């Protein structure tokens, strides 16, 4: 059984292979490692869950296994924040179960016996989407850090600006001078790296400070 390498030993994406068939796990490991991917294999859902999700880029999970089924494993994974993409592996009679998995959030499913290139393509697609999601999460984390660094009053001004209120209205509502509001707004845009008012509003939406505006909605300047 393939085992994870030491942290930092390899930069290749790590694919978890979760299946009770020893020969299948071995053949999948050879296939994926031949195209530059790292693999780690688990003979059951329990073994995988005990090891933990962290460090895996994509999960290949058999639908039908002794002990926990693939769907039962998926149910537990759905409670984990930022779970890697899940690709279900199914036998011919398990397609209805795979459809259930898709409805529950699985990335895709692929039927046994595998078309090797199809499997590789699906994994690469999942890796690409995972990389995009990771980039978005990192951007949002940095944005939240910049927002937390704002002064409390600047945070209040940001919310009012994002709601489309004018500087005069904000000044009245927050008991500030209009000039102070303008200074705060300049500082906020600089701190959040917003080049325009519409971009500042989009950042406030991303921070969940305000609801998304209608497509034709424009904040007041």
pLDDT tens, 172-196? Answer: 999 999 999 999 999 999 999 999 9
Q: Is the pTM of this model over 0.85?
A: no
DSSP state of 94: G
Nearest alpha carbon to residue 181 among 195, 163, 169, 197? 169
What contacts 176, CB < 8 A, 6 or more positions away? 153, 170, 184
Domains and CATH numbers, the chain: 14-138 (3.40.50.2300), 150-206 (1.10.10.10)
pLDDT tens, 83-108? Answer: 899 999 988 777 788 888 888 889 99
What contacts 171, CB < 8 A, 6 or more positions away? 177, 178, 180, 181
Exposed, middle or buried, 124 (CB in 10 Å: 0-12/13-18/19+)? middle
Whether 221 shows a pLDDT value over 70: the answer reads: no
């Amino acid at each position: 059984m393939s085992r994870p390498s030491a942290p930092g030993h390899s930069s290749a994406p790590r694919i978890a292979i979760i299946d009770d068939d020893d020969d299948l796990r071995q053949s999948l490991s050879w296939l994926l490692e031949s195209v530059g991917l790292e693999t780690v294999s688990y003979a059951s859902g329990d073994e995988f869950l005990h090891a933990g999700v962290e460090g895996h880029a994509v999960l290949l999970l058999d639908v039908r296994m002794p002990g926990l089924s693939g769907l039962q494993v998926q149910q537990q994974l759905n409670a984990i924040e930022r779970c890697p993409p899940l690709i279900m592996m199914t036998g011919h009679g398990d397609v209805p179960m795979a459809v259930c998995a898709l409805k529950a959030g699985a990335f895709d499913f692929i039927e046994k016996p595998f078309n090797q290139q199809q499997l590789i393509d699906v994994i690469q697609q999942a890796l690409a989407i995972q990389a995009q999601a990771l980039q978005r999460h990192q951007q949002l984390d940095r944005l939240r850090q910049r927002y937390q660094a704002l002064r409390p009053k600047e945070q209040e001004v940001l919310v009012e600006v994002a709601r489309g209120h004018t500087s005069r209205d904000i000044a009245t509502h927050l008991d500030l001078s209009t000039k102070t509001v303008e200074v705060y707004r300049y500082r906020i845009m600089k701190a959040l790296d917003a080049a325009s008012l519409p971009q500042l509003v989009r950042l406030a939406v991303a921070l969940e400070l305000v609801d998304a505006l209608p497509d034709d909605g424009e904040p007041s300047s």
